[in-house]
Amino acid sequence: MKQHAFTGITVAILLLMPSLAGCLEDNYPNDESLDNNGLVPVWERVNQNFNTTGSYSYTLIQGEYGIVGPESVFIDVDLPSSELGCTITDDCQVHLGLWMPNVPDGTKIPVIADVGPYYDDGDVDALTPANRLGKFLIENMVPHGYAVAQVSVFGTGMSNHCMDFMGLSEQMGIDAAVTWLGTQEWSNGNVGIIGKSYDGSTPWQAAMFGNPHLKTIIPISGLIGVHDLMWRNGSMEARGLAMHNGVYGSFGWDGDSEDWQTVCRGYVEGYANGPAAYLAGDEVNYAGNSYWADRHFLERALQNYNGSIYFIHGMQDWNVDPHMAFPAYKELQNAGFEIKGLFGQWGHHYPDRPGDQNGMSSGRGAEAFPYSVRYDWAQDLLEWFNYYLYEGNMKPALHVEIQDNMGGWRIEQTWPVDDRKLLQLTIGENLNVVSGNGVISSGNSLTLETEIFENETRISGMPTFHVDVTIPPNQISGHLFIELSIAGGIHLGHGVMDLRYHEGGRECGQPCTVTGTVNAKMQMFALDVVIPAGSALELVVTQTGDDYIPSTVSSGFVTVGTNQNSILTLPVIERGPEDLFTPPIWYEEEI
């Protein structure tokens, strides 16, 4: 037993096992003192002469090469009959725009690619530098000797065939693009894929093939799997019903004679699999149905990929939730991958965009701004690419850079950290009922509150709330949403569960029903937050929240037990001011 920083509370602490070139010069400071033979540690970059006044970051020194391009390239892809082959169209081709450095003849260069569905579909075409990421890559990386490719997935941009929404056709098209980029006579054979959101999911799709040319991936707020994103413990996000057909299936529909090409097997299957998964909460892999399994990437990447991973995710990203990064980061690290993490308190954003990050709300990232803006990110990427694509001899540090909700950055060897301790708070002992009688429905909630924390305390990881819940006999499930906040203050974190999945995870067996009293093992989304000294925590239990929808079998009410079987567990770490660092940051008055 160990006395924690509560007033009059003793709690159990469990220790865990351990044509752009001519306009670029003004973006670069004159830093002749930079030692190109060594890498400056991240905590010392604040002393370097970074440009912190632009709309995104730049490398410390501009590269020496001019920019040539773009070149328009069509790559033939041979699809199997199971994917309808190439019978829908006369051929199956993936299109890309390619920018090259003006290097001496015979110079072999690596390639950085951003692959996604948005070129000419809601954004510029693939032959125009995209403000999403392409412009940033072309300006920063091509002058340093890298080719940059903007690649359209099937059914989007100038790529033909059909929009398969992360299915097998799309995956094979991406792999074909990697092979083409790695086998050209000007290529050194090394390809890296980087992107955010959908474009952050295509790196995982590429990694599944074990393509020898794919040397590094940098997924930024990407999906490790489609079902994995839109369902959490059986609970569905609102967009889960029609992500394929309602959101992306219309890509390529522009009123011309080729619109019929956008319809493919996956598009048809999407009509059935969205509603079926909503009802069941799982992947409905029955009778040979493989729609969702085809769109799960992490396991095949673990089995087949042989490159490095630079994992980037916003801790306040509720478009692509942080459970796409955790616990996957540690799983990949434990599997032996060379992996680095960058996890800031931004939302569905790039790490270096103040114009995006300044819109975060209180309790959802605002407190960490502007310290969340990483104006050293372009330099960081250059150092990463130099090692893994140019096969340089200066290896970047393989660590996690994590930011807490108040803006402090620190270095960890992994995340969640291994030296966290578990603070257990039990309803009726040190977690008190403030309002509510335990009945949870559309109009009833339960509010719980801790005692005061005497000292500043850090919660780092994924808190759990294991709670007894009784489902009435006339129901076959229920639904819970929990929100953790500073009492009278800001939001800290939340969790959700369809009670058919009360044991946690993504499977509940058949028949998938539950009645009576169960202990719901709820796990909150990843958080790294500071509890100020003199504060208490508030936990509110409701039927649902954010954009999660109870399934049709989860309506009605449930009763939460306010007893000793209901425990809130907080992963707590000991870190002080000496563990924090300040990166080169953006100041509004300088813009």
Looking at residue 450, which CATH number applies to its domain? 2.60.120.260
- Are residues 339 and 294 part of one domain? yes
The residue from 412, 443, 464 where one domain ends is 412
Q: Are residues 378 and 459 in the same domain?
A: no
Domain that holds residue 193: 21-412
Does 2 have pLDDT greater than 50? no
Average pLDDT value for residue range 334-350: 98
Look at residue 587 and tell me if it is in a domain: no
* pTM as predicted: 0.91
Same domain, 190 and 324: yes
What is the C-alpha separation between 222 and 289, in angstroms, rounded? 24
Stretch 253-260: mean pLDDT, rounded?
Answer: 56
207-211, 248-252, 338-342, 346-350: which has the minimum mean pLDDT?
248-252
pLDDT at 19: 38
User: How far, rounded to the nearest angstrom, does the alpha carbon of residue 121 sit from its chain's CA centroid?
Assistant: 22
> Average pLDDT for residues 17-31, to the nearest whole number?
45
What's the pLDDT score for residue 552?
A: 76
Residues 447 and 337 in one domain: no
Confirm if 56 and 138 have CB atoms less than 8 A apart.
no
- Strand ranges (DSSP E) for 44-184? 67-76, 93-101, 109-116, 147-152
Q: Render pLDDT for 501-538 as a digit per residue (tens, 0 to 9).
A: 898 887 776 667 888 999 999 999 999 999 999 999 99
Question: pLDDT per residue over 128-169, tens digit each?
Answer: 999 999 999 999 999 999 999 999 999 889 998 888 888 898
Are 253 and 322 contained in the same domain? yes
Is 9 within the bounds of a domain?
A: no
Distance of alpha carbon 345 from alpha carbon 51, whole angstroms: 21
> Is 306 within the bounds of a domain?
yes
Residues 112 and 251 in one domain: yes
Mean pLDDT over all residues of the chain?
87
Assign residue 281 the CATH number of its domain: 3.40.50.1820
Is residue 588 in a domain? no
pLDDT (mean) for 12-39: 46
Q: Which residues contact 53 (CB under 8 A, 6 or more apart)?
A: 586, 590, 591
Domain assignment of residue 591, yes or no: no
Q: Is the pLDDT of residue 90 over 70?
A: no
d(CA 498, CA 544): 10
Quote helix, strand, coil % in the chain, to nearest 5: 25, 30, 50
What was the pLDDT predicted at 327? 95
- What's the Cα-to-Cα distance from 513 to each of 236, 475, 497, 501, rounded to whole Å? 16, 9, 14, 9
Co-location of 435 and 401 in the same domain: no
End position of a domain, from candidates 377, 412, 447: 412
Pairing of strands 491-498, 479-486: antiparallel
Which of 228, 404, 418 is CA-nearest to residue 320? 228
pLDDT at 334 > cutoff 90: yes
Q: How far, in Å, CA of 441 to CA of 492, rounded? A: 23
Q: How far is CA 11 from CA 164, 178, 422, 467, 567, in A?
A: 52, 54, 10, 18, 12
**CA–CA separation, 200 vs 220, rounded Å?**
5
Highest-confidence range of 282-286, 290-294, 437-441, by mean pLDDT?
Answer: 437-441
Domain assignment present for 401: yes
Q: For residues 139 and 162, what is the distance between their CA atoms, to the nearest angstrom?
A: 32
Return the HEC string of 365-401: CHHHCCCCCCCCHHHHHHHHHHHHCCCCCCCCCCCEE
Percent of the chain at pLDDT > 90 equals 67
* Judgement on whether residues 392 and 443 belong to the same structural domain of the protein: no
**HEC profile for 98-109?**
EEEECCCCCCCE
Q: Are residues 377 and 435 in the same domain?
A: no
Q: Is pLDDT of 229 > 60?
A: yes
Q: List, for residues 459-511, the tens digit of each pLDDT value.
A: 999 999 999 999 998 888 899 999 999 999 999 999 999 998 898 887 776 66
Residue 233 maps to a domain: yes
Pair 359, 261 in one domain? yes
Q: Which of 84-98, 219-233, 400-414, 427-441 has the highest mean pLDDT?
A: 400-414
What mean pLDDT comes out for the span 296-318?
Answer: 97
* Count of all residues that appear for the chain in the document: 591
Within this chain, do residues 468 and 376 fall inside the same structural domain, yes or no? no
Give the number of domains in the chain: 2
Torsional class of 416: left (φ above 0), alpha (ψ -120 to 50), beta (otherwise): beta
Three-state SS across 455-514?
CCEEEEECCEEEEEEEECCCCCCCEEEEEEEECCCCEEEEEEEEHHHCCCCCCCCCCCCC
The confidence score (pLDDT) of residue 276 equals: 73
Instruction: Give yes or no for a contact between 173 and 155, defined as CB atoms under 8 angstroms apart.
Output: no
Please tell me whether residue 111 adopts helix, strand or coil conformation: strand
Q: What is the DSSP string of 175-213?
A: HHHHHHHHHSTTEEEEEEEEEETHHHHHHHHHHTTT-TT
If asked whether residues 176 and 220 sit together in one domain, one would say: yes
Element (H, E) at 541: strand 537-542
Is 138 part of any domain? yes
Q: What distance in Å separates the CA atoms of residue 367 and residue 360, rounded to the nearest whole number?
A: 9
Residue 250 has a pLDDT of 66
Question: How confident is the model at residue 262, as a pLDDT?
Answer: 57
Of the candidates 412, 447, 479, which is a domain's last residue? 412
Quote the CA–CA distance of 519 and 142 in Å, as a whole number: 56
- The residue type of 328 is A
